[in-house]
Amino acid sequence: MVRARRLRTGIGVTALVAGLGLVAASPAAAGGGHGHGQGGGNEDSCRLVESTLTFDGAPEPELTEMFTTYANTAGEWTGGDSTYSIPMRGGKIAWVFSDTFLGEVADDGSRPLDSPFLNNSFVVQDNRDRLSTVTGPEGTSLIAPPTDEPSGWYWVGDGLATKKGDIQLVALRFWYGGGGAFDFGWESNHLATFDGRTLELESLTPLPSESGVQWGSYIAEPQGHGWGQYTYIYGVDDEGLVKSMHIARVRGTDLTGDWEYWTGSGWSDSETDTVAVMAGVANEYSVTEFRDGYLLITQDTNELFSRNIVAYTSCSPTGPFQPAGLVYEMPEVGALGSYGNPNIWAYNAHEHPELRTRDTILVTYNVNSFDSSELYEDASIYRPRFVEIEVDVEPSR
């Protein structure tokens, strides 16, 4: 079983619809910047970007079996999406899910039509690989819907554990217009803080939202290397067909600190100075240290409902990111996929660097159906997939 650990230098992708990216966005002129600084895009060249990467992936058997058995037999969590992971004290891992099914799974693999459905939950993996579901009071969402907009809800982004041991998550507030399954949209960003022992919600406070960026696609904590003393907060501009990466940072590992925003040539205190770094990322993706550079893992949204997970490399956490190749084809997708069902699609691939083993990375992605009735007929659809990817790096000569 893979174990959570802290990465060290040199150890070596939500919306319901995966959008269409078209061309790389150009950085805008910097406004109110503070200069480059640590991780500011002015790093020297690195061997990783100049190397040829090849990827060999297969389902990770132990996590796959552990979550499948738990979902089918525990009578608690039976499926969800997002699938972020946060190392906790005592060797635990908090697996963070947005939309979540609870309840029982029948012997034929179906869910009852009255299965509880939440917008966010935790599944905690302890140091003996036992799983337990954490929700809000009486089986409700961890973060209750906004009281001023009863039809709204919160989906969760990535997060971290503070020095105190509390869990901080970026919470994305959405509205629903009542006009069908896809009549919804993002409204604002918030910071949810949970007690590190009980995982009860302690506070929910606003985060910058004026730029239209959904922050929390990925959170990269400082580990040395190019991160310096900063935690990097990656986000996505998902207002049109093109999904584009944006980057913020905060000193230390407390998201309540003062945020700065990447302008293309420096850092600004003003969120509206943020610029698109590149297009084609998903709503959830990951940027992690790898060898002497950085590895971006994302579903390819340059193609509508793509089955492809792709990689990019960079010498800086702010890019520029260079294409590094196809990582994995999600086999469930479409009429020719493993379900043989044109309604099946997959989304939001990202890495879990605390579960990396040398150059073998762990990637998760989510699977869904355009026909929601199928999520009840077959509970196996709406669950994360765990994939081990062996990365071979061939240095340039």
> What's the confidence (pLDDT) of residue 289?
95
In percent, the amount of the chain with pLDDT more than 70 equals: 87
Of 44-48, 127-131, 310-314, 345-349, the least confident: 44-48
DSSP conformation class of 27 = P
CB 55 within 8 A of CB 326: yes
Is residue 188 one of the residues assigned to a domain? yes
CATH code of residue 298: 2.115.10
Mean pLDDT, rounded, of the chain: 89
pLDDT in tens, 108-120: 999 999 999 999 9
> What's the confidence (pLDDT) of residue 54?
98
If you average pLDDT over residues 221-231, what whole number do you get? 77
Is residue 213 one of the residues assigned to a domain? yes
> What's the confidence (pLDDT) of residue 25?
34
**How many distinct structural domains can be found in the chain?**
1
Query: Alpha carbon 367 to chain centroid distance?
Result: 14
CB atoms within 10 A of CB 101: 22
Q: What is the spatial distance between Cα 149 and Cα 156, in angstroms, rounded to a whole number?
A: 18
Is residue 95 one of the residues assigned to a domain? yes
Query: Alpha carbon 109 to chain centroid distance?
Result: 27
Q: What is the spatial distance between Cα 80 and Cα 101, in angstroms, rounded to a whole number?
A: 6
Is residue 268 one of the residues assigned to a domain? yes
> What's the confidence (pLDDT) of residue 177?
78
Q: Assess whether pLDDT exceeds 90 at residue 355.
A: yes
Specify which residues 329 forms β-bridges with.
308
Query: Alpha carbon 252 to chain centroid distance?
Result: 21
Domain that holds residue 143: 47-394
Q: Assess whether pLDDT exceeds 60 at residue 11.
A: no
- Cis preceding linkage at 320, omega within 30: yes
Is residue 25 one of the residues assigned to a domain? no
| Cα-based distances in Å from 281 to 174, 223, 246 | 20, 24, 10
Is residue 14 one of the residues assigned to a domain? no
Is residue 16 one of the residues assigned to a domain? no
pLDDT in tens, 22-48: 223 333 333 333 333 445 554 668 999
Q: Looking at this protein, which amino acid is placed at residue 180? A: G
pLDDT in tens, 177-187: 776 666 789 99
Is residue 24 one of the residues assigned to a domain? no
pTM, rounded to two decimals: 0.89
Of the pLDDT bands very low, low, confident and very high (cuts 50, 70, 90), residue 196 is very high
> What's the confidence (pLDDT) of residue 96?
98
